[in-house]
A = this chain, B = another copy of it.
Amino acid sequence: MSPRPTINASVSPKGTLETLSQREVQQLSEAGSGSVYQLFRQCALAILNTGARIDNAKTILDAYRDFEVRIHQQDRGVRLELVNAPADAFVDGEMIAGTREMLFSALRDIVYTANELDDQRVDLHTSQGITDYVFHLLRNARTLRPGVEPKIVVCWGGHSISTEEYKYTKKVGHELGLRNLDVCTGCGPGVMKGPMKGATIGHAKQRHHGGRYLGLTEPGIIAAEAPNPIVNELVILPDIEKRLEAFVRVGHGIIIFPGGVGTAEEFLYLLGILMHPDNQDLPFPLVLTGPRSASAYFEQLHAFVGATLGEAAQRRYQIIVDNPAEVARHMAQGLKEVKQFRRERNDAFHFNWLLKIDVGFQRPFDPTHEHMAGLQLSTDLPPHELAANLRRAFSGIVAGNVKEKGVRAIEEFGPYEIHGEPALMRRLDELLHAFVKQHRMKLPGGAAYEPCYRVVEG
């Protein structure tokens, strides 16, 4: 690989108040090889590649091996010194302002996370403690704005979708923007970018300045899914479970576009929560949508939900095919109900405190072969528990497909074995095969898909 052009530069935050204490600067800068520093370096590199189309963290890290970032405290606050930074992040020698902003958001979140844990401030043993932790991270990032009516629409779906599907997400975003709604995604390409891009145009038409394009990510994924340049608020949550909780507590409604196993995981995570008896009356607008060509995909998902979690689960969402304006109207209507509900219950608009999330959804699932084999998959379970376990199964498959640790485990021990009730296992197998057939289980390199799991009945 030929060397890429790089630039050395020194940048300061602009307009934001990223003021660090000397202790905090020291924490970051002293340990050139420390884990906090490594984390920040990696996120910084991903951000500096914003807009570049590289689907692979390792590629980026390799391409800029000698990239370095140093942190200084100085007269006007913090300054970052960048050595051998990707040249694409600069225009005529000056860093693009949005990139600079995200760089300091990353600094903020990583320092904050480290401090919180350092000080043993956080109680990660209880559900309440984890929720408080997520709340504090979001508050520190100024994501929570109390005076604002519910209008954050989370968009989930694949980061690698067809052109037709991508265009469709832009159209939906455009309709959301025309209704002055904000967009929150996982902040990479594909479904994470299209709705934001569409909303930008919609907001511009409505002369709606201050539209929010909120990107929630985590250090493990940011390199592979670099924030797209439209994201104007970036928050880095420490892991996938905190990130998912942030999505459902900060978002007021969710739209699910076509995606792969990861999207299915998110869908089941959400269904599992909404099926919890405590959440029975809580309004949460949820729309599955895509262009005409994606209707098979949604039918399969819908059938799978019906067969596994039942009709009650199906009632928690609406499938709308090929009708962006209708999606936006449905969402706008749902948000009104959310507002009404929270007002009646005196819940915050900016954080969904009333949503009950079982600790099982908050704790990281470690997809070892043993854990995967031990998952209970039976319709005897209460639906929300079955949903939780199905979510874990999908999570394991994602890990086995693309995450470093998972891939190595598969190489060593062969495919995961997933056991369960025969009828349920057949349904699962069908769904996963359909994903493969629809090219929704692409591997980073683009090779033909080799399943990392084996469905075992009983």
Contacts and interface: CB of A to CB of B under 8 A. Distances in A.
Contact of A146 (B76, B120, B207, B343): B76
A17 B146 contact: yes
Nearest to A90: B178
Interface stretch (A63-71, A239-247, A344-352): A344-352
Interface in A107-134: 119-121, 128, 132
Copy number in the complex reads 4
A351 to B, nearest CB: 8
A277 interface: no
Interface residues of A, number: 61
Given A75-B349, A349-B75, A349-B76, A146 B179 contact: no
Contacts of A19: 139, 144, 146, 348, 350-351
Interface in A45-100: 72-78, 91-92, 96-99
A299 to B, nearest CB: 29
Contact of A119 (B13, B120, B179, B205): B120
6 contacts: A21-B136, A77-B348, A96-B178, A96-B206, A99-B205, A121-B121
Nearest to A145: B17
B18 A146 contact: yes
B342 A75 contact: yes
A208 interface: yes
Contact of A205 (B136, B146, B229, B347): B229
A346 B136 contact: no
Interface string A251-264: 00000000000000
A261 B232 CA distance: 42
Contacts of A348: 19, 73-77
Contacts of A132: 21-23
Nearest to A26: B128
A437 interface: no
A206 B146 contact: no
Contacts of A208: 97
